[in-house]
Structure 1
């Protein structure tokens, strides 16, 4: 199949603005999003909560007064038919709604030879779900991308890597670069003093290993350490936590450290941002890494100092 270019059409009176960013991320796993239109009566007070997320995602609000029942739905359907008939660039439509009434639109899109995707709740009628090539339940959406500042480069790189990785296989650096751009369209290795993403990654040797490098391609993997958890006990505070991808970052007086959940002693359910933890770091390597502005790994993480081995 050729590359998919999506128009995302959102029933704003049926979908949740809380999950909208996650919905766009889900669609971008399958192709490029060219159009983001959200339909509602934006004069209604209950729609005001959409305002911020529409700005953040550069989505276009489509106004439809409540002239009759399902007026916004009808506007969405008419625009969809016009898109699939006249816009040669669009070859995929994603309908965001749990309303079974959109099943006939999904069927029409399939009949025109375009890819049809939808995102909705589990109670979405079967007729709509079965009319789609791909239907995604909102319960399976990942947490929305955290818009990380440039000062949080290590977290941005790790988060991008973990969203690319599949079955613990190495990640193609080009895919990671695309993911970084999805997170932040202004991302540029030159912002950090490097001419290329490869050079930036090589400078982050405490985070990543280059596992396969050729002139035209490069694959990377998260670095694993075989060092024993001996050395200095450090106290810090969890500043970022991603429970789904099982990694986090700790701030301390000595600098920043990253960690994997496998290094946590006890229940990871007790971990939360702002929580004080204690952990071990190798004496020599940690001092060297911190002095050069790196972000070494934390080992044997505990929530009670007396548990530090």
Structure 2
């Protein structure tokens, strides 16, 4: 369970992240702890970043100006890395949230973890595997954003039945809508299934049962980008049940306490 008193430095690369994700970013880090530093880096003289203006004020983000000295080079990365190391040596935080889809932060994430920091990475599905693997955990902002939007959509009411028209009209074949390719997490469902088999076999008790909380922790350590929401679920148990791999057992120690859920391979 995350310590809600943990202090995090949230560092955002404005050159690689859209402002539409800001609420999701802050909501996700609030599950880990408290954001004591909230800084965002970019060349604010660039018109492409004007959309961030209102977002900065509403979310109390501190904009850090970094001019692009050379065409084709991202000076923002260097400023963000230098600040991260300064904050690390200040000893004032317990972890970092690095928000970018850029592989240039791979070494920074690894270095912060070497110093005992929890590193939560956030970016889009295009984020390179090297950066994802360097983080303690990684959140796909585009996948989580799409999942939230689907939950908010209300089912449409059925249209009222109309009386048949007097004249028959020649039915027209509906045009096929072009389906946009759906973004998927780097770690596929097949990979998750194989990992779950080995985790349960290696860590279950004498009767082959294992606590689902332990399963989730071990799986997240192997694959930092694992999140049941990437696969359309809000809780781990329904996700495990959907795989048709496990028997599920629920126990309640007392009437007031939460239920404990265990699984074993079929």
Give the structure-1-normalised TM-score: 0.47
Residue 245 of structure 1, CA deviation = 5.6
- Whole-angstrom CA distance in 2 between matches of 1:143 and 1:124: 17
Pair 1:97-2:120 in alignment? no
Aligned 8 A contact 1:21 1:53 in 2: no
CA-to-aligned-CA distance 1:213-268 (integer Å, 9 cap, x gap) = xxxxxxxxxxxxxxxxxxxxxxxxxxxxx85167xxxxxxxxxxxxxx7xxxxxx1
- Aligned equivalents of 2:113, 2:161: Cα separation in 1: 60
Q: 1:92 to 1:30 in 2, by over 3 A?
A: same
Which runs of 5 or more structure 2 residues have no equivalent in the other structure? 163-266
Unaligned 5+ segments in structure 1 are 146-241, 247-260, 262-267, 272-301
Query: Displacement, 1:104?
Result: 0.1
Q: Given the alignment of the two structures, is residue 130 of structure 1 paired with residue 104 of structure 2, yes or no?
A: no
Distance in 2, Cα, partners of 1:4 & 1:19: 22
Aligned counterpart for 1:76 among listed residues 60, 80, 84 = 80
Number of aligned residue pairs: give it: 158
Secondary structure of residue in 1 paired with 2:125 = coil
Note closer, same or farther for the CA distance 1:101–1:58 as it changes in structure 2 (3 Å cut).
same
Measured in 1, the distance between the counterparts of 2:138 and 2:87 equals 20
User: Offset of 1:304 from its aligned partner?
Assistant: 4.0
Please state if 1:244 is matched with 2:151. Answer: yes
TM-score for the superposition, normalised by structure 2:
0.55
Of residues 62, 71, 76 in structure 2, which corresponds to 1:60?
Answer: 62
Deviation by residue 1:173-198 (Cα, 9 ceiling, x = unmatched): xxxxxxxxxxxxxxxxxxxxxxxxxx
Specify which of 13, 16, 21 is matched with residue 14 of structure 1.
16
Whether 1:116 and 2:119 are equivalent positions in the alignment is: yes
Larger relative contact order (Cα-Cα within 8 Å, sequence gap ≥ 6): 2
Give the 3 Å change call, closer, same or farther, for CA 27–92 of structure 1 in structure 2: same
Q: 2:38 is matched with which residue?
A: 36
Inter-CA distance 144–7: structure 2 relative to 1 (3 Å threshold): farther
Deviations 1:274-293 (A, max 9, x none): xxxxxxxxxxxxxxxxxxxx
Q: For 1:65 and 1:7, how far apart are their aligned partners in 2?
A: 22
Whether contact under 8 Å (1:19, 1:144) holds in the other structure is no
1:176 corresponds in structure 2 to none
Question: CA deviation digits over 1:114-147, x for unaligned, max 9?
Answer: 10011111121111100001100012334899xx
| Structure 1 segment 201-280 matched on structure 2, within 5 A | 244=151, 268=155, 270=156
Report the Cα distance in structure 1 between the residues aligned to 2:98 and 2:104, rounded to whole angstroms.
11
